Chains A and B, each alone.
Chain A
């Protein structure tokens, strides 16, 4: 066994009501590429944030270079040689490469004047870039670099602090195939220099290519470890799934009716070279699963008219419709409950009442003057129907809990006539009680003939609530599952871009 570099043992992290990490053990050896996999929300990012010193664990020990830490600060982590190449790159676009590499640790000159020594910084960055095979210079502005090149800058930054462990969180999610290959080449090179890499990815092929060992997280726990010669897609997926799913499912009151929403060859700006085909009937809840970044939110935004539709056709009840703005969508009865309710769903500083009627205000007005009585009645009706817990509808939305805020967003749409509703991560950050209320509400809407698309990264929710599940992978729908095909294994296979296999082949 190679020299041990880093060991996490018994790491737990609890948030109020949530156990994000539970007794996680992980060790990294010198010059090793450790693949870290798990579903959305399995705790990978949380664990890495603990390691990078961004958040403190509630329990456990971090052993590094013979020292034990109960927790680390960002500075300590850096000193211990841990570097983080972020999922969303944290670079200053307005500065050049050398300045980014040395940000916060600028080389100084001029004695008490503390001038920045650009020449020195450029001279030090140059060899790092050469080593990585980068074809830009230290004086290139970061805003002129592609995402792959920015990643090289992050890696150069890691090398400049003599990092011993580099954490890469979904490094290839926005890279082309050739860029990915180059990155994997760089990782192999780092390995020969004795630098370890923790490689987090949903792309199991890449893990197969580069990892020496794979650790699988599920629900915040380490559930398995695979050595290099044990690696296979099936083995990894099997470890990632395997939770007992609680039965949330309420069957529809009646069979889905014809009509609803057909999405035919739609192209969104997030994946301009992919087409999306999807249908949801009236009275049906269609779960839309997929990994983060698979293009599910982009689809919802395009259908709702927030982002431009680059191609294809949307039909509502078999009639083609044109949606250029959210206003058009709302007029057609297409509503979106957005992913980020605080940013896009609510005007936090306005009262519940004004948020509920924001989209339908003209209907409660005569000659453009708001009918206060009608408005209040509608808001109160929604507050009662959705059991929004607030002393009055004049409370500002900002004072409500997450679940109640989400209900206000729902109230806004339910006070009108929905035909097709998109729910984007409807229960994220919401307490359990409100969650089941929202599920019940979706079902009752469906039973009233609304076509419902529920985007969710929560496997339990996808499998437990949907009538059918469509899975997206890299910008297009990779498969649709009927209820008798529902399983975490199938959803995950489609989500990572593999075709469904006959059930017997899935068995070990």
Chain B
């Protein structure tokens, strides 16, 4: 289970070491803190995406959710002068609600996650642009939410708060996913929904909850991004961010078929993506190649992982064979021999004549 994460960590370390060796600026304090900030920003919603992917689903709507929740959040603070704790609460509730609607459509109305969240992507973006008449919303020169701004974009002893939030949320979700009953159900549902249902698990609730969590984390991310950019341009804010999250989750060991992945993996996947982006800058690789580098690394990473897994499975199958083969002959002396011969005639071949 931990092999994947260890491999990813080594890859991250090797890439960092090489980049640092070529250009020491990569390992400078400023650059590392900058990267930590970005990892925090992009990691939080990747965690939610990961949970959704473990159910065997996908959430394509995150980037548009940021835009819609972002413009509403700024409007609440500036135009309506809502106290920031209330505005924060409303945005979080908004994220949870959108996730809840998507989860409802997917589980109760049996729609495909790809379609539901793709439509979410289009609808939220459109709503954000219509709501603002396509104009950028930003903070004025007042201090509408300086306290919250400090919390969201400040730092503790130099460490960006965004990174600290990510660590805290990752710890909470790590316990949820790897230690709680819900997490166990999530994996079971992702691997075999039918068997989970036959074991009395309310699979609809389990799946819908993953979308709700993802929506809630999108709300948190919205607030962090708003204070990172200080303004929201509804047509471009958060564009394609859901793809970063999917990439991080997949790189971190989540399978789009569901039932696989870990919180640590997702965090490491996010970190690797940010390191790659940063390395493109630091090493003077043309910025236009940014996405191409990312794509290549994900492709190679997933391919390598698949090959390794196939090899491991072959080995396990061989070991299993070696273990079960001798069992058939001598080990059954304790069984009554009359039944042995009786059923030998017609042990089920699984065929239904």
Q: Residues of A at under 8 Å CB distance from B?
A: 15, 17-20, 38-46, 200, 219-220, 246-248, 292, 304, 306, 325-327, 329-331, 336, 338, 343-350, 354, 358-359, 361-362, 365, 368-370, 389, 391, 396, 399-401, 412, 425, 427-433, 435-437, 439, 457-458, 460
**A330→B328 CA distance, assembly (Å):** 34
* 16 chain-A/chain-B pairs, Cβ below 8 angstroms: A17-B347, A40-B352, A41-B348, A42-B353, A45-B353, A246-B342, A248-B342, A347-B187, A349-B259, A358-B184, A361-B184, A369-B175, A389-B327, A427-B348, A432-B335, A432-B347
Residue of A nearest to B182 (CB): A368
Cross-chain contact A431 with B328 (CB below 8 angstroms): yes
Cross-chain contact A326 with B200 (CB below 8 angstroms): yes
Q: Which of the 9-residue segments B28-36, B165-173, B189-197 touches chain A? A: B189-197
Cross-chain contact A433 with B184 (CB below 8 angstroms): no
Top 4 closest pairs, chain A to chain B, by CB: A246-B342, A428-B348, A330-B200, A359-B199
Cross-chain contact A246 with B339 (CB below 8 angstroms): yes
Residue of B nearest to A20 (CB): B349
Total interface residues on B, using CB and 8 Å?
Answer: 48
Cross-chain contact A15 with B349 (CB below 8 angstroms): yes
Cross-chain contact A432 with B343 (CB below 8 angstroms): yes
Cross-chain contact A436 with B335 (CB below 8 angstroms): yes
| Contact A344-B198, Cβ < 8 Å, known A19-B345, A246-B338, A436-B336 | yes
Cross-chain contact B350 with A327 (CB below 8 angstroms): no
Cross-chain contact A326 with B198 (CB below 8 angstroms): yes
- B residues near A359, Cβ cutoff 8 Å: 199-201
Closest Cβ of chain A to B158, distance in Å, is 34
- A residues near B347, Cβ cutoff 8 Å: 17-18, 429-432, 435
Cross-chain contact B180 with A338 (CB below 8 angstroms): no
Cross-chain contact A306 with B197 (CB below 8 angstroms): yes
Cross-chain contact A347 with B188 (CB below 8 angstroms): yes
Residue of B nearest to A169 (CB): B353
**A302→B122 CA distance, assembly (Å):** 41
**A400→B259 CA distance, assembly (Å):** 20
Residue of A nearest to B320 (CB): A399
| Contact A358-B181, Cβ < 8 Å, known A45-B351, A401-B324 | no
Cross-chain contact B198 with A336 (CB below 8 angstroms): yes
Cross-chain contact A18 with B199 (CB below 8 angstroms): no
- Judge whether B340 is part of the interface by a CB distance below 8 angstroms: yes
Residue of B nearest to A427 (CB): B348
**A428→B323 CA distance, assembly (Å):** 22
- A residues near B108, Cβ cutoff 8 Å: none
**A325→B203 CA distance, assembly (Å):** 11
For the A-B complex, the count of residue pairs with Cβ-Cβ distances under 8 Å equals 168
- Pick the contact of B352 from A327, A432, A457 — CB < 8 Å? A457
- Judge whether B332 is part of the interface by a CB distance below 8 angstroms: yes
- A residues near B195, Cβ cutoff 8 Å: 343-347, 358
Q: Mark B302-334, 1 if CB is under 8 A from A, else 0.
A: 000000000000001100100110011001100
Q: A40-B352, A292-B352 are in contact. List 20 more A-B contacts (CB 8 A).
A: A20-B349, A41-B348, A42-B353, A43-B353, A46-B351, A46-B353, A200-B353, A219-B345, A292-B353, A306-B198, A331-B200, A361-B185, A370-B184, A427-B348, A429-B349, A432-B344, A433-B340, A439-B339, A458-B348, A460-B346
Closest Cβ of chain A to B300, distance in Å, is 25
| Contact A344-B194, Cβ < 8 Å, known A17-B347, A370-B179 | yes
**A326→B198 CA distance, assembly (Å):** 6
Cross-chain contact A350 with B348 (CB below 8 angstroms): no
Cross-chain contact A347 with B327 (CB below 8 angstroms): no
| Contact A346-B351, Cβ < 8 Å, known A41-B346, A306-B198, A326-B197 | no
- Pick the contact of A350 from B187, B194, B198, B340 — CB < 8 Å? B187
- A residues near B316, Cβ cutoff 8 Å: 396, 399
Closest Cβ of chain B to A26, distance in Å, is 15
| Contact A362-B320, Cβ < 8 Å, known A344-B198, A429-B350, A433-B335 | no
Cross-chain contact A40 with B199 (CB below 8 angstroms): no
- A residues near B259, Cβ cutoff 8 Å: 347, 349
Cross-chain contact A350 with B188 (CB below 8 angstroms): yes
**A415→B328 CA distance, assembly (Å):** 27
Q: Mark B25-60, 1 if CB is under 8 A from A, else 0.
A: 000000000000000000000000000000000000
- B residues near A370, Cβ cutoff 8 Å: 179-181, 184
**A61→B185 CA distance, assembly (Å):** 53
- Pick the contact of B198 from A220, A338, A389 — CB < 8 Å? A338
Which of B181, B185, B340, B343 gathers the greatest number of chain A CB atoms within 10 Å? B343
- B residues near A425, Cβ cutoff 8 Å: 348
